[in-house]
């Protein structure tokens, strides 16, 4: 068996890269700092069901990604979400239907990463702090001081601010990653015992603290009760309230939601708040991926492309393409 390739991060970019490398007959090993896979496509499980606190849905505009999404659909990993869409501007709520096809993981967003990762060897709860090269091979060090390796190549598939340190062995790549700014997003989940009296399933919000609101049960495969909602704060609000306690964030966004939705919104029976420190790159890039093929060190992620699920998938494909073509 050949020396494996290490992939740091099990978000969509790392999973996409790993799939393509395995299909090419290469051996991969994943390292993931969280307890589960999916990164920003993770779902929060609770007694009241699971909620997609990160990515809400995704679109497929690139033909290659659209083809793959159809395969996922055939396997039952994703379903089409056709919400009753609204928009709100300056406090004015109005229906905003469109023709866009939107996809979600079924029965939760994290179903996709679960399926893509399958049985591939993964070290969870393992935060990599250093990537270094010996005479011939790469090694990783984790936050507990444990060494992992040897590896023929390393793919860093984390958000840019976390990638720059891990790319220190290739200063040019590290400095490109260090130059990418990413915005935070506060995300709040609320569950109500009795369904809210509204037609709204999803709403794009402009002005104020909120940016997006979604009704969980309108997505395919979700439990109908309780009536759970996900609220996302705008980047500006999230940045200004980065260190606010979770309870205060929940209260503030619950209040904004009650004003926006135009029906009675009681106290929730369950609530959760999650802070995404590196939610989205401030701008799109067209790098596809970064890499030093001679060294064998690479980076991918949504920040190398569009800051969306599709961009992350495309970036993972690009990193795999570069590795495979360097081997030929």
Q: By the criterion CB under 6 A, which residues form the site for ligand FAD? A: 8-14, 31-34, 39-41, 54-58, 127-128, 157-159, 162, 185, 187, 232, 276, 279-280, 301-302, 307-309, 312
**CB of 52 or CB of 211, closer to ligand NAI:** 211
CA dihedral 103, 108, 109, 114 (to 10 degrees): -120
**CB of 59 or CB of 198, closer to ligand NAI:** 59
**CB of 88 or CB of 170, closer to ligand NAI:** 88
Q: How many Å is the Cα radius of gyration of the chain?
A: 20
Closest separation in Å from C-beta 231 to ligand FAD: 10
Among 232, 254, 285, 322, contact with ligand NAI (rule: CB under 6 A)? 232
Cross-sheet strand order for the sheet of 128-133: 128-133, 138-142, 147-151
**CB of 101 or CB of 169, closer to ligand NAI:** 101
End-to-end CA distance of the chain: 17
Angle made by CA atoms 323, 63, 311, in degrees to the nearest 5: 55
Burial class from Cβ neighbours inside 10 Å (0-12, 13-18, 19+) for residue 87 reads: middle
Residue 39 binds which one of ligand NAI, ligand FAD, none, with CB within 5 to 8 A depending on kind?
A: ligand FAD
User: Contact at 8 Å (CB) between 221 and 107?
Assistant: yes
CA dihedral 197, 203, 209, 211 (to 10 degrees): 150
Ranges of H-type helices in 149-245: 160-166, 171-178, 235-240
Closest separation in Å from C-beta 276 to ligand FAD: 4
Residue 34 binds which one of ligand NAI, ligand FAD, none, with CB within 5 to 8 A depending on kind?
A: ligand FAD
Residue 137 binds which one of ligand NAI, ligand FAD, none, with CB within 5 to 8 A depending on kind?
A: none
- Per CB under 6 A, does 70 bind ligand NAI? no
Report the alpha-carbon distance of residue 192 to residue 228 in Å, rounded. 6
**CB of 58 or CB of 298, closer to ligand FAD:** 58
**CB of 25 or CB of 145, closer to ligand FAD:** 145
**CB of 187 or CB of 191, closer to ligand FAD:** 187
User: Contact at 8 Å (CB) between 305 and 319?
Assistant: no
Q: How many chain residues bind ligand NAI (CB under 6 A)?
A: 15
Return the residue nearest ligand NAI (CB atom): 279
Q: What residues numbered 177-206 form the site for ligand NAI, per CB under 6 A?
A: 185, 204
- Per CB under 6 A, does 279 bind ligand NAI? yes
CB atoms within 10 A of CB 52: 25
Q: Can you spell out the DSSP letters for 223-261?
A: --SSEEEEEEE-HHHHHHTTTS-HHHHHHHHHHHHHHHH
Q: Which residues bind ligand NAI (CB under 6 A)?
A: 58-59, 85, 87, 96, 98, 100, 185, 204, 211, 232, 279-280, 307-308
């Amino acid at each position: 068996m050949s020396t494996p390739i290490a992939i740091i991060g099990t978000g969509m970019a790392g999973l996409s890269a790993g799939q393509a490398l395995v299909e090419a007959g290469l051996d991969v090993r994943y390292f993931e700092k969280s307890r589960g896979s999916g990164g920003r496509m993770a779902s929060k499980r609770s007694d009241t069901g699971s909620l997609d606190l990160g990515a809400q849905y995704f679109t497929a505009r690139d033909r290659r990604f659209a083809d793959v999404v159809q395969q996922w659909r055939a396997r039952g990993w994703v379903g089409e979400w056709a919400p009753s869409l609204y928009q709100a501007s300056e406090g004015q709520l109005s229906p905003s239907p469109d023709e866009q096809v939107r996809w979600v993981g079924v029965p939760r967003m994290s179903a996709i990463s679960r399926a893509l990762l399958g049985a591939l060897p993964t070290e969870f709860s393992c935060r990599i702090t250093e990537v270094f090269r010996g005479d011939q091979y790469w090694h990783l060090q984790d936050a507990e001081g444990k060494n992992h390796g040897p590896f023929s190549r390393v793919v860093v598939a984390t958000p840019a601010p976390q990638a720059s340190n891990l790319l220190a062995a290739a200063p040019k790549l590290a400095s490109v990653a260090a130059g990418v700014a990413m915005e935070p997003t506060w995300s709040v989940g609320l569950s109500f015992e009795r369904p809210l009296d509204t037609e709204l399933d999803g709403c794009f919000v402009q002005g104020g603290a909120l940016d997006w609101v979604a009704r969980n049960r309108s997505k395919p495969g979700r439990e109908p009760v309780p009536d759970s909602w996900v609220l996302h704060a705008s980047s500006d609000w999230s940045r200004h309230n980065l260190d606010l306690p979770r309870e205060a964030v929940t209260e503030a966004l619950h209040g904004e939601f009650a004003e926006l939705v135009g029906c009675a919104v009681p106290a929730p029976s369950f609530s959760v708040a999650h802070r995404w420190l590196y939610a989205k790159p401030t701008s799109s890039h067209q790098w596809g991926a970064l890499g030093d093929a001679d060294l064998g060190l690479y980076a991918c992620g949504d920040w190398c492309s569009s800051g969306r699920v599709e961009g992350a998938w495309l970036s993972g494909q690009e990193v795999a393409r570069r590795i495979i073509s360097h081997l030929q």
